[in-house]
Amino acid sequence: MEQISFDNILKSTKIDQLTKEELAQKYHVVVDELARVIKENYTLRNQKISDEQLNFILQEQLAELQNTIYGTSSERYKKPEEKKKEKTEPKPHIKQPSERYPNIPVREELVPFDEVPMCDACGKVMTDSGLTEESEQLNIIPKKFEIIRWVRPKFRCSCHACIKTPAVPPRIIEGSSYSDDMIIDVVASKYCDLIPIERYVQMAARGGLLGLPPQSLIELTHCFAGFVNPVYELIKNEVLKSRVLHADETPHKMLEGSETKSWYLWGFSTPTICYLDCHDTRSGDIAIDILKESKCEVLISDVYGGNDRAIRLTNIERFKINKNIVQGANCNAHARRYFFKNRYAYKESLFYLEQYHQIYQLNCDSKEKSTSEILELRSQMRSRFEEMKKQAEFEISNYPKGKYKTALNYFLENYNGLTLFLADSEVSIDNNSQERLLRSHVVGRKTWYGTHSERGAKTAAVLFSIVETCKLNQVNPRIYFQNLVKDLLEGKNPYTPKEFKDLQKI
């Protein structure tokens, strides 16, 4: 039989065409080669590695490779013994489009006969019964571009000393060749629908508007961000008033206009408010500035030294003025993820996944419940956390190094932060809500790559803050912007999306 080398494995890309014997041979070659590389790596670092340690590392590497090739991207976990419940088929009921979308206008079209029909039975001419048969279909009216020409009459006096014309209605950008509706559409397309400006220009060209300059549209977003900046400040003030805050950050690329290329978009949020700000550092000083100004007593975040430092320094200042200190709550989704990634290499991980499965089920049951009911359900979680802690303390000495030990260490070292939510109904079990608020920015930066100036970073922070706050309050950003612009131009006070939603209920 032909000898299979490691180089041959690298050249082979069609795994599905190999026989079972060939796959088995290739697998053993990969294992042997990986073991050799690991040993050589430790030898070069003048470190000794035991057979047991080598076995742990090999298990991790092979399990990670298996998960990469065959694993799912979802982190959902089902108990091994869990059986699928038999679903009872509901009676089919097909809704008409007008039932599904009651807010959409309906246009009726009569379908006439070309000529009066004859009866198939007796051959007589038929008459209109007054009854109809109706069917519906969803239609779309493509976006249309138009030019608005303001025509203002000129009034003159017989003395020929004075000519007057009516004032043009106030606008977002006085003298601009773009209407307010056009500006709102550009802003919402980019920061809500995540359509890059270049693609917006291409879409407009397909709609008949050729030669639209992208740079002028980018300038519109900057001007609009300045126009709605008072709302941004209101959002920040709401965040500073909150007792419990979520915090997270994500990289933001500064393409030019700054010596520092790696910036960060920082996020601080509550269930109804999202405040984002862009800075050229990941230092904990950003969190310190927020905490010192705020009334925050619990900061929910990932395990990050910058946040720990921010809490520590803030508490030193608060202690001096006899103000409530800040507690740090950690994200259980991160702790669970460490065990989830090790579920193939270490079957011991399944115990922790099972416990977290039950904990998150109780957390799901607590939604929309009263404070006392939430705390009652969370009290049932405490025993499961204690079981995990006891098991982790027992296991940790059996694993000298490796990713599974990292998972155990993460859970034990941050146990207090992971369980802080059990005694406080306002504190959530994880930081997933804040991470979701940064998702649009993460998706967006893959299409427009970054910003070209500090002004652009500020624009992104302002507009993403408002749009994400709209989403939190289930407010349509386009409708909100249209009403906000109208009211601001009329001299009314700015309001947040949450306040807008409350006003709509009145």
Look at residues 277, 322, 324 and name the one whose alpha carbon lies nearest to residue 299: 324
What b/e sequence results for 177-213 when a residue is b if at least 16 CB atoms lie within 10 Å of its CB, and e otherwise?
ebebebbbbbbbbbbbebbbbeebbeebeeeeeeebe
Q: How many CB atoms lie within 10 A of CB 241?
A: 12
- Pairing mode, strands 274-279 and 262-269: antiparallel
| Contacts of residue 11, Cβ cutoff 8 Å, sequence gap at least 6 | none
| Contacts of residue 134, Cβ cutoff 8 Å, sequence gap at least 6 | none
Beta bridge partners of 163: 156
Q: What is the pLDDT of residue 254?
A: 81
3-state DSSP of 65-114:
HHHHHHCCCCCCCCCCCCCCCCCCCCCCCCCCHHHHCCCCCCCCCCCCCC
Calpha distance 136→62 (Å, rounded): 55
Instruction: At 26, give phi and psi (nearest 5°).
Output: -65, -35
Calpha distance 434→154 (Å, rounded): 56
Calpha distance 495→486 (Å, rounded): 12
Q: What is the pLDDT of residue 13?
A: 46
Q: How many CB atoms lie within 10 A of CB 365?
A: 13
Q: Count of residues for the chain?
A: 506
Q: What is the pLDDT of residue 48?
A: 64
What distances in angstroms separate CA 287 from CA 301, 415, 420, one per listed residue?
11, 22, 20
| Contacts of residue 304, Cβ cutoff 8 Å, sequence gap at least 6 | 284
| 3-class SS of residue 208 | coil
**263 close to 279: Cβ distance less than 8 angstroms:** yes
| Contacts of residue 308, Cβ cutoff 8 Å, sequence gap at least 6 | 284, 328
**187 close to 481: Cβ distance less than 8 angstroms:** yes
Rounded to 10 degrees, the C-alpha dihedral 63/69/73/77 comes to: -40
Calpha distance 381→141 (Å, rounded): 53
Residue that is written with structure tokens 């991207």 in the block: 73
Residue that is written with structure tokens 């697998």 in the block: 27
Q: What is the pLDDT of residue 369?
A: 86
Q: How many CB atoms lie within 10 A of CB 139?
A: 8
**260 close to 280: Cβ distance less than 8 angstroms:** yes
Calpha distance 441→217 (Å, rounded): 19
Q: What is the mean pLDDT of each run of 10 residues along the chain (506 residues)?
A: 45 58 71 70 64 67 64 62 63 80 88 88 88 87 88 88 88 91 95 92 92 93 95 95 91 80 88 91 84 90 86 90 89 91 86 92 89 91 93 86 87 92 91 87 74 86 95 95 95 94 82
What distances in angstroms separate CA 406 from CA 321, 429, 451, 473, 502, one per listed residue?
39, 21, 36, 38, 47
Q: What is the pLDDT of residue 173?
A: 92
